[in-house]
Amino acid sequence: MSLILKNTTGSLITLKVSALDIPASGQITIDPSRYHFFQKSDSITETDPLITAGSLVVNDGIRDLSILQSKEYLRFREAFGVPFRSDPTRVNGFIAKDTQTAIEEVRSIANPLIVPINLIYNGTLSNGNFIGYNNLLPGDLTPIIVPISGTFTGFTWSNRDADSDFDLEFRKNTTGGSPFFTWSVTNTKTADVNLGTPETITAGDTFYVKYVDQGSNATDASIVLKFKA
CB 183 within 8 A of CB 167: yes
User: Tell me, what's the pLDDT at 108?
Assistant: 61
Give the C-alpha distances (Å, rounded to integers) separating 5 from 15, 30, 39, 42, 126.
Answer: 11, 8, 15, 18, 68
User: Whose CA is closest to 35, among 5, 11, 65, 56?
Assistant: 5
- Residue that wins the pLDDT comparison between 130 and 44: 130
Structure confidence by residue, pLDDT tens digits, 175-199: 998 999 999 999 999 999 999 899 9
Do 60 and 150 fall into the same domain?
Answer: no
Which residues sit opposite 156 in a β-bridge?
192, 224
- Domain limit, last residue, from 26, 53, 76: 76
Task: Clarify whether residues 23 and 120 are in a common domain.
Answer: no
Range of the domain at 48: 4-76
pLDDT of residue 70: 87
Strand order in the sheet with 150-158: 114-124, 219-228, 150-158, 190-201
Q: Which of 137, 140, 132, 134 minimizes the C-alpha distance to 122?
A: 134
- CATH number of the structural domain spanning residue 179: 2.60.120.40
Residues 72 and 124 both lie in one domain: no
For residue 20, tell me if it sits in a domain.
Answer: yes
- pLDDT above 90 covers a percentage of the chain that reads 65
pTM of the model: 0.56
Q: Please indicate, yes or no, whether residues 218 and 119 belong to a single structural domain of this protein.
A: yes
Residue 79: pLDDT over 50: no
User: Could you say which of 23, 46, 76 is where a domain stops?
Assistant: 76
Q: For residue 93, is it within any domain? A: no
Statement: residue 90 has pLDDT above 60: no
Give the number of domains in the chain. Answer: 2
Domain boundary among 76, 106, 122: 76
